[in-house]
Chain A
Amino acid sequence: MFFHNLKIAFRNLAKQKVLSFINISGLSIGLGCFVLFLLFAVHEFTYDRFHQNAANIYRVAEWIQTPERQGGDAFGGTPLGPAIKADFSDVKAYARIQAGFDDKFVRVNNDVTRSKISFADPQLFKMFSFKTIAGDAFTALNDKQTVVLTKEKAIQLFGRTDVVGSRVDIKMGEQYEPFVVGAVTEDIPSNSSIRYSILGSYAYLMASDMGRQSDGNWHMTIGSETYLLLDSKSNLAQDAGRLAQFRRSHMPGEEEELKKMGVWDGKGPFPVRFLLQPLKDVHTNPAIGGPSDTIDPKIIWILIAIASAILIIACINFTTIAIGRSSARAKEVGIKKVTGSRRGQLIGQFLTESILLSVFAVILGCVLAMLLLPFFNQLAGRELHFSFSQFPQLLWLLLALTLLTGLFAGIYPAFVLSSFRPIEAIKNKIRLGGSNLFTKSLVSFQFVLSIVLIISTLVLLQQLKFLRTQNIGFQKENVLVVDADGTDAKKIYPLFRQMVLSNTAFAGISASEMGMGEGKGLMGTGFQYEGETKGVIMYPVDAGFLKTMKMQLLAGRDFNPELTTDTVDAIIANEALLKDFGLTLSTAVGAELKERRFGDQLISRRIIGVVRNFNYASLKQEVRPQMFFQPPQLQPTKFYIRLRSGDPSTALAFLQAAWKKLAPEFPLRYSFLDEDMNRFYVFEERWSRVAGWAGGICIFLACLGLFGLAALTAVNRTKEIGIRKVLGASVSSIVTLLSKDFLKLVLIAFVIASPLAWLLMHKFLQEYAYRISIGWWVFILTGVVALLVAFVTIGSQALKSAVANPAKNLRTE
């Protein structure tokens, strides 16, 4: 029976080539997209689960809960790990790891490259399941001057992996220090929160200046995380009491201090506490900050929802086409019933057909997904691979997907077709022709999904454009940023500046102690004015910074390199700062603010100028109070060079040469400020692209289905069209006749989709401090495009049957 069904299924597929093509290609595209998103979801949801001890590993985080703020971060002090292990017998081991923050120069056989250096306790390799391929990573990290490399790094540095015992020089501070490679490990799986390429010993870190300072200091962090391996029976993670006790015993003055600062009133729960975060939670809990990327599970689910929408549209195509073809299958159903088939058997037969189709489509979809994977990786910012060894669950997920798709697409037609009464079916009295209410609603539903996605994309793109072109208070175009961090920048800068200024290709150069374009590493402190204290962000810059960045001075003056007093107390504030302190443009210049230093020390600062509000951060946030000051001894890490507009290549070549002359031992690292700043909007860009592609695919699939339906209608109504033409109907009246009903469905879809999309995007835009208002033209545009595309699709089919020879059609009936 099964083979009999398969046989019919195959022959039907072969007979209806166009419809089979629509069905299989549509489903394959839908499944291909779904498989990609599925891979992404599996990847994100399996983060860190490859460690054998994953269930018993926790990260120590500090959770702060006040009315204004709640959140956690995983950067604990260095004494935390040893103390917690000593205090609790159910903590079996701890490992501290400092992820590499800045790039250090690494020298192997006189080749210098830059790389992040991480540091960890040797226990890391006992607790976690990173595989070693050469040497012994555990013993290696017991030695201060030993490093562990990943396979990839070893190949990059040495060209091979058997490098245990080889020497690597790393520039720590002012000079290179020798290290020995103690072990090489397998590359770190892409779904790991803990990442390193060169891993040094924590003991080395603790011996450094910074490490010595942090030793025994519970209030300082050097940006390292502490992981614990708990006994499998331990309840420490749930036992808030024991953790609170632990905190009190090691930070005894804290309660008094917080009370004095007015953060805590002595009643209610203490606002700061330690929290043990399960390893499995690290990647998917954005509330706790750490060195690795996190993702809100909501986003994963939204992606899955978008992928499901695409798949559903493809499945609906199958359903509507199957219903549209029902008259062609009715005879078969009738005969089978007459020859003794029961309804259940017929349902089985139709489901066999749809599942068979889905098997084909899944295979093709997987091929498609593999071809598209590099593109998708770029879109999603990931490095995914189709690896059944990394994701064994993919196998059964794919099986389930195949079955579900087949069932979902086939169930309705199976029930409808099998319900035909034999006599009517045989006499060809069944005429559903894609026109029953249910299939009509399905077609509309497809277009609702497509239109919502397309409107969302347009709004996202508009918002993105708005964010990028918004006046941010300076000109980010044509500014080249040289990253001089870790070089002898203090010596290089004045000479480099001289050379740049001597060349007319450049309009200016300045420097700063901090990066600005990346939006991290801000420096700020409290300022006092007329008894009120407010937080202000400070930028230590070189004179000429404002000019180079083309910032607009609204009042007062710029820093004057001739005046030494300007390096003592002069500051230039932005409008937001004025507003915060209740100053105006006329009262601001000359105003004195008190800067809070360590302890209760106050330092006087005087406003010499006011600049237009500027924003180095994402426009998601309001512009914050910010100021520039000129330190007496500038330690530049970034050089900002304004190029005259035009081709930057000659200017770049000049900079390369100049750099080589001044600092031959360091490669020149540079970026363009506008590109750096666009990185704030990676999220928006990614989302608009994902939504755009999804919307495009949706409308393509929906039209593919419409095409099939139109073709079917034309076939089902061949006789009617023939008769109408014999009676004198014009081609255009027949095209109208055939297209009208479908276009009505698209129109209905548009009417339903528009308010939905508006609500969705309205809600989304609320997250932005600076946002566009959604224009009505977005809706009109999308509606017109959807109708037009649908009309072209249907019209082509309608035209074909309208111009066909009626005599021929009538004869075949």
Chain B
Amino acid sequence: MIALQHISKWYNIGGKPNFVLKDINLNIQEGEFLSIMGPSGSGKSTLLNIIGMLDLPNEGRYDFFGQSVYDMKEKHRQDLYKKNIGFIFQAYHLIDELNVYENIETPLLYQNVKSSERKAMVGDMLDRFNIVGKKDLFPSQLSGGQQQLVGIARALIAKPRLLLADEPTGNLNSKQGEEIMQLFKQLNEEEGITIIQVTHSEKNAEYGSRKIDLLDGRIQQHIKENISL
């Protein structure tokens, strides 16, 4: 599904390149649940953003379903992104001016889904995450865990095949975090959604099917059964 070859990213600091990612090679199959770990500043978020097409590397090649991402037109890449990728953030990042219902609905607006269909889809999501009663509330009126549920619902509404999560439980207590992880596992196993998460917690990483460690921009070791290589 995803093939990264010789991906490098650097920032010029004081005239010298400062590598954030260095020659990353990584293959991810559809249906995997990958955890990316590593110390702070090691480049985890950067890597995830590159996979999520929100950021560009300075060097390297990226194939998504066999198509070279950096050779395609911007519009095409946008479409690919819209159809296939859902993002979840540590800080939830909901739009403060929109209520729960409207926040979840947003991605559908950009995919020109008909209004009646949107209603049904958002309704499904609300049901599924048990937040029907909260649909008229605004983000500021929700707890952190509830906000993250809305964030996940929003990431899933457009039925993506790849879910990217950057420390999704970072702002939650352990019980809330566990629930989210359970949910991920379920999504991965029952619906076959590919998930890539960045996490600091070994325990959370265990939910995944594979784990990689980043250190100073390099992949350190491959743990657990090595399906892809």
Interface positions of A (Cβ within 8 A of B): 1, 4, 7-8, 11-12, 15, 331-332, 334-342, 345, 422-423, 426
Give complex CA distance A342, B110 in Å.
8
Contacting residue for B95 out of A1, A15, A332, A423, CB 8 A: A332
Contacting residue for A336 out of B78, B89, B95, CB 8 A: B95
* Shortest Cβ gap from B211 to chain A (Å): 24
> What chain B residues lie within 8 Å of A331 (beta carbons)?
93, 95-96
Segment among B9-17, B65-73, B101-109, B212-220 that sits at the interface with chain A: B101-109
Indicate if the CB atoms of B89 and A426 lie closer than 8 Å.
yes
Residue B229 is within 8 A (CB to CB) of chain A in the complex: no
Give complex CA distance A332, B89 in Å.
14
Indicate if the CB atoms of A339 and B97 lie closer than 8 Å.
no
Q: List 21 A-B contacts (CB under 8 A).
A: A1-B109, A4-B106, A4-B109, A7-B98, A8-B97, A8-B98, A11-B98, A12-B97, A331-B93, A331-B96, A332-B97, A335-B95, A336-B106, A336-B110, A339-B106, A340-B81, A340-B111, A341-B110, A345-B110, A423-B49, A426-B93
Nearest-CB residue, chain A, relative to B138: A11
> What chain B residues lie within 8 Å of A338 (beta carbons)?
54, 87, 93
Nearest-CB residue, chain B, relative to A332: B95
Contacting residue for A340 out of B89, B96, B97, B110, CB 8 A: B110
Nearest-CB residue, chain A, relative to B105: A4
> What chain A residues lie within 8 Å of B111 (beta carbons)?
340
> What chain A residues lie within 8 Å of B49 (beta carbons)?
423
Residue B44 is within 8 A (CB to CB) of chain A in the complex: no
Residue B61 is within 8 A (CB to CB) of chain A in the complex: no
Give complex CA distance A12, B81 in Å.
29
Nearest-CB residue, chain A, relative to B75: A342
Interface string of B95-139 (1 = CB under 8 A from A): 111100010001101110000000000000000000000000000
Residue B210 is within 8 A (CB to CB) of chain A in the complex: no
Contacting residue for B102 out of A4, A345, A422, CB 8 A: A4
Residue B37 is within 8 A (CB to CB) of chain A in the complex: no
For B, the interface residue count at a CB cutoff of 8 angstroms equals 22
Indicate if the CB atoms of B154 and A423 lie closer than 8 Å.
no
Give complex CA distance A11, B111 in Å.
23
Assuming the contacts A7-B102, A422-B54, asked whether A335 and B93 have C-beta atoms less than 8 A apart, the reply is yes
Residue B200 is within 8 A (CB to CB) of chain A in the complex: no
Nearest-CB residue, chain A, relative to B107: A339
> What chain A residues lie within 8 Å of B206 (beta carbons)?
none
> What chain A residues lie within 8 Å of B78 (beta carbons)?
340, 342
Contacting residue for A423 out of B54, B81, B102, B107, CB 8 A: B54
Q: How many A-B residue pairs have CB under 8 A?
A: 53
Indicate if the CB atoms of A334 and B107 lie closer than 8 Å.
no
Interface positions of B (Cβ within 8 A of A): 49, 54-55, 78, 81-82, 87, 89, 93-98, 102, 106-107, 109-111, 154, 158
Indicate if the CB atoms of A334 and B82 lie closer than 8 Å.
no
Give complex CA distance A345, B110 in Å.
9
Give complex CA distance A39, B144 in Å.
56
* Shortest Cβ gap from B159 to chain A (Å): 13
Indicate if the CB atoms of B93 and A334 lie closer than 8 Å.
yes
> What chain B residues lie within 8 Å of A334 (beta carbons)?
93
Give complex CA distance A161, B151 in Å.
76
> What chain B residues lie within 8 Å of A12 (beta carbons)?
97
Contacting residue for B55 out of A335, A340, A423, CB 8 A: A423
Indicate if the CB atoms of B154 and A339 lie closer than 8 Å.
yes
Give complex CA distance A337, B95 in Å.
12
Nearest-CB residue, chain A, relative to B74: A342
Give complex CA distance A331, B94 in Å.
9
Nearest-CB residue, chain A, relative to B112: A1
Indicate if the CB atoms of A11 and B97 lie closer than 8 Å.
yes
Give complex CA distance A677, B31 in Å.
95
Nearest-CB residue, chain A, relative to B158: A340
17 extra A-B contacts, CB within 8 A, seeds A4-B106, A331-B96: A1-B109, A7-B98, A8-B97, A8-B98, A11-B98, A331-B93, A332-B96, A332-B97, A335-B95, A335-B106, A337-B54, A338-B54, A338-B87, A339-B110, A340-B78, A340-B158, A426-B89
> What chain A residues lie within 8 Å of B89 (beta carbons)?
426
Give complex CA distance A342, B77 in Å.
11
* Shortest Cβ gap from A648 to chain B (Å): 67
* Shortest Cβ gap from B90 to chain A (Å): 11
Nearest-CB residue, chain A, relative to B89: A426
* Shortest Cβ gap from B162 to chain A (Å): 14
Give complex CA distance A332, B96 in Å.
8
Indicate if the CB atoms of A340 and B82 lie closer than 8 Å.
yes
> What chain A residues lie within 8 Å of B96 (beta carbons)?
331-332
Give complex CA distance A519, B109 in Å.
72
Nearest-CB residue, chain B, relative to A5: B109
> What chain A residues lie within 8 Å of B97 (beta carbons)?
8, 11-12, 15, 332
* Shortest Cβ gap from A343 to chain B (Å): 10
* Shortest Cβ gap from A621 to chain B (Å): 65
* Shortest Cβ gap from A349 to chain B (Å): 10
Nearest-CB residue, chain B, relative to A9: B97
> What chain A residues lie within 8 Å of B93 (beta carbons)?
331, 334-335, 338, 426
Give complex CA distance A332, B139 in Å.
13
Give complex CA distance A335, B94 in Å.
7
Give complex CA distance A12, B78 in Å.
28
Give complex CA distance A15, B107 in Å.
24
> What chain A residues lie within 8 Å of B54 (beta carbons)?
337-338, 422-423
